[in-house]
Amino acid sequence: MGAFNDILATTGPNMGGLSDHLYIVPIADIDVTALAALDDPTDEKTVAQAIPLLTDKKWFKWYFTKGLDAKLSYPLVGERDGRSRDVMVDMKQPRMIAANERVYDIVMNVPVAIAVKDAEGSMRLCGINRREDGTLAVDFPMYMETDDANTGGNATEKKGHTIQFKGECPHTPLFHTAALDVTGAA
C-alpha cells in the first residue's frame, strides 16, 4: 500500500485532544458487503464515502469531557516483520446515571467501530480497515477495554467513567471525510 514519499515540515496549529463527540456503531449494524464494494478512489488513507449501515441503523453519539485526556493513540507494536498498531480511544464521560450505565453494560462485550474528530477537525475511523487489495472491512473491530467508573473521593474529584476502547490494525486509523448517519434515516 502506497510508496515512500517526502515528509515536509508543517506550519500552523498542532493542538492535541479530541473535539466534538465520540461516534460509535456496532459492527453488526454495518453493511459489510456494501462496505467492501465501496469504490473510493481518494487514496488508501482516506474514506470519502459514507460508511454503509443496515436499514434503520445509525452512528450513536457519545458526549465526553473535553480536555481530560480524550485522545486517539495508535502505537506501533510487535516484533520486526510482524508489526501492527494498537488503536486506542480514551475518554472521560461525566456523571453516573442509569441510562448511560445500561449502555455501557451492553457495549462492554460488543465489537464496534468508532469515529472521532481530532482538535484540527480530521475525522478518524477505528475498527474499519483497508485490506491489501484496497477493499474496506471490519476485520479488526474495537472493544471496550476498560471502564473505570468511580464516584470520586470528595467534592473536588470528578465522578464518572474513564473509558478506553481498544483494537488492533495493520495500519494507522483511516481518515473519513463523509458525513456520519446519526439519524438512521439513510
Whole-prediction pTM: 0.90
Task: For residue 113, give the H/E element and its range.
Answer: strand 112-118
pLDDT at 156: 86
Whole-number pLDDT of residue 104: 94
> Strand, helix or coil at 147?
strand
What is the phi/psi pair of residue 40, to 5°? -120, 90
Q: Which residues of the chain have pLDDT under 70?
A: 1-3, 13-14, 40-42, 186
- Which residues have a Cβ under 8 Å from the Cβ of 148 and sit 6 or more positions away? 161, 162, 163
Judge whether 172 and 74 are in contact, CB under 8 Å. yes
Specify the pLDDT at position 6: 73
Q: What is the model's pLDDT at position 3?
A: 67
Question: By C-alpha distance, which of 143, 92, 112 is closest to 24?
Answer: 112
Q: Which grid coordinates are listed for 150?
A: 468511580
Q: Locate cell 496549529: which residue?
A: 13
Look at residue 186 in the predicted model and tell me its pLDDT. Answer: 64
Q: Is 22 exposed, middle or buried (0-12, 13-18, 19+ CB in 10 A)?
A: buried
Task: Give the pLDDT of residue 42.
Answer: 67
Going from N- to C-terminal start, the domains of the chain cover 18-176
